[in-house]
């Protein structure tokens, strides 16, 4: 009985230790975002992330950044 209790405590402590290091992903110009100056982030119901930065508004689909343009706005070339 004591061994089961110790195994349970050990399992609980090991699961808590894993939770201390969450996975994260850096969004910056090294990952093809046009600018590191980000003013706003928003995630829609489909999972897309919209990033408002000093280079404009961009949609991130998990792989690439796509500029969001309004009608009548000249298209801007990105580097």
Tokens 């961009």 map to which residue?
58
**Predicted confidence band at 18 (pLDDT cuts at 50, 70, 90)?**
low
Give the neighbor-by-neighbor strand order of the sheet with 56-60. Answer: 38-43, 49-53, 56-60, 65-67
- The residue with greater pLDDT, 38 or 79, is 38
- Contacts of residue 30, defined as CB under 8 A and 6 or more positions apart, other chains included, come to none
pLDDT digits (tens, 9 = 90+) for 35-74: 888 899 999 999 999 999 988 999 998 888 999 988 765 6
**17 versus 43: which is more confidently predicted?**
43
Lowest mean pLDDT: which of 19-23, 29-33, 34-38? 19-23
Query: Residue ranges of the domains in the chain?
Result: 23-79
Q: Which two tokens stand for residue 10?
A: 């050990």
């Amino acid at each position: 009985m004591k061994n089961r209790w110790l195994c349970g405590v050990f399992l609980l402590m090991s699961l808590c230790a894993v939770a201390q290091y969450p996975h994260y992903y850096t969004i910056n110009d090294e990952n093809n975002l046009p600018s590191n100056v980000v003013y706003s982030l928003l995630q829609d119901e489909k999972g897309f992330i919209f990033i408002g930065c000093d280079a404009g508004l961009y949609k991130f689909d998990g792989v690439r950044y796509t500029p969001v343009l309004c009608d009548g706005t000249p298209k801007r070339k990105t580097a």
